[in-house]
Structure 1
Amino acid sequence: MARIDTNVKSIRYPVPCDEKLTLLARKLKRTKRQLFIEMVDYFYRSKKDPADMNDEMLKSDLSRMGNRLVGFFRTQESELLVPIHGMTEEVLGKTAAVKGELKRIKEEHADLAKLLRENTKHAGEQLKLLTSIFDGLANKEEMRAGFRRIMEGYIKEREALGWSPSSGKKDELVRRFRQQIDKL
């Protein structure tokens, strides 16, 4: 079967253009034929005019893209950034208020701690005073009991000796003696 050559067309172009095409093909690592086919496909699909060096279509596409991006950023700014900024300001304001409250609470806590220390010290002093009073009362009761024993011993001894005064006078003396000891 004979092979049919699909490469039946040829193009003639000047030598300086061939030099440029050769350099471009080397740079892009393609053959001149591959590069030419790709250039034709590119201009066919993009509908660009290779003679138009300014490429107005590209400029208008870039301009439209820039306008779309600016519009997108403005939308994002109004829908997201401005509300977020407002919420951030609100949170910062509340944070400052909370810091002020915490400082006030800390100062009050320090004042209360100082007052508690003073009250604890005062209560300790009161406890010592009450303890000494109760100890004194206990000692007083012990003294009364001791005096009572002494007096009872005195009375028994006196009875044993048999003093001559009358019994009523003796009882009156004993009663007065007991009252005086109780008044201690």
Structure 2
Amino acid sequence: MARIDTNVKSIRYPVPCDEKLTLLARKLKRTKRQLFIEMVDYFYRSKKDPADMNDEMLKSDLSRIGNRLVGFFRTQESELLVPIHGMAQELVGNTETVKDELKSIHEKQGDAEKLLRENTKHASEQIRLLTSIFDGLAKMEEMRAGFRRIMEGYIAEREALGWSTSSGKKDELVRRFRLKVDRL
């Protein structure tokens, strides 16, 4: 079956136009034929006049698009940016308040730590004092017990001597017991 060639039409145009078409095709990396077909499709779909360099339709489209964008940005500004800015300002104010409160808490914490150190020092002194008092009471109890033993021993030995014993023996007994009391 023979292949049918669809490229049956040709256009003649001047050499300077061919040079421009060649440069344009190289720049866009297409063949001249491919570029020509795309140009025809573009003008057909856009309904633009290639002879009209000022293209009022394009200008009006761009103007309309610009107006829509400006409207969109104004809407976003009023609906989003202004409330966000207000919230940001409120957060800054809240941050300052929290900062002041944290500073106050830090100062109070420092005062509490100082008071705790002072109370701990005072409690340590009280514990030392109570310990020395309890030690003194224990020693006093020991001394009382020792004195009781000495006195009981003195009484027992004096009774053993009887009333008729010479005063020298009695004096010796008193001297010995005084020595025992002094050793306490």
Same fold (TM over 0.5): yes
Query: Residue type of the partner of 2:77?
Result: E
The aligned residue for residue 160 of structure 1 is 160
Unaligned runs of 5+ in 2: 165-184
The aligned residue for residue 54 of structure 2 is 54
Per-residue displacement from partner, 1:1-54 (whole Å, max 9, x unpaired)? 888776665555444434434443444454544443333322221111122111
What does 1:1-184 align with in structure 2 at a 5 Å threshold? 11-163=11-163
Distance in 1 (alpha carbons) for counterparts of 2:75 and 2:21:
47
| Structure 1 residues 147 and 78: alpha-carbon distance in aligned structure 2, compared to 1, 3 A threshold | same
Q: CA deviation at 1:98?
A: 1.6
| Structure 1 residues 121 and 15: alpha-carbon distance in aligned structure 2, compared to 1, 3 A threshold | closer
| Structure 1 residues 159 and 59: alpha-carbon distance in aligned structure 2, compared to 1, 3 A threshold | same
| Structure 1 residues 8 and 82: alpha-carbon distance in aligned structure 2, compared to 1, 3 A threshold | same
Q: CA deviation at 1:70?
A: 1.0
The aligned residue for residue 175 of structure 1 is none
| Structure 1 residues 100 and 16: alpha-carbon distance in aligned structure 2, compared to 1, 3 A threshold | same
Query: Residue type of the partner of 1:60?
Result: S
| Structure 1 residues 150 and 68: alpha-carbon distance in aligned structure 2, compared to 1, 3 A threshold | same
Please give the TM-score of this superposition, normalised by the length of structure 1.
Answer: 0.75
Distance in 1 (alpha carbons) for counterparts of 2:83 and 2:39:
50
| SS of 1:87 mapped into structure 2 | helix
Query: Residue type of the partner of 2:99?
Result: K
Distance in 2 (alpha carbons) for counterparts of 1:144 and 1:99:
66
Per-residue displacement from partner, 1:35-78 (whole Å, max 9, x unpaired)? 43333322221111122111111111111111111111111111
Distance in 2 (alpha carbons) for counterparts of 1:33 and 1:134:
117
Distance in 2 (alpha carbons) for counterparts of 1:4 and 1:139:
133
Per-residue displacement from partner, 1:80-114 (whole Å, max 9, x unpaired)? 11111222222222222222212211111111111
Query: Residue type of the partner of 1:45?
Result: R
Distance in 1 (alpha carbons) for counterparts of 2:125 and 2:3:
123
Query: Residue type of the partner of 2:73?
Result: F
Distance in 2 (alpha carbons) for counterparts of 1:36 and 1:43:
11
Q: CA deviation at 1:161?
A: 1.9
CA-based RMSD? 2.5
Query: Residue type of the partner of 2:123?
Result: A
Say which is worse superposed, 117-126 or 93-102, in terms of deviation. 93-102
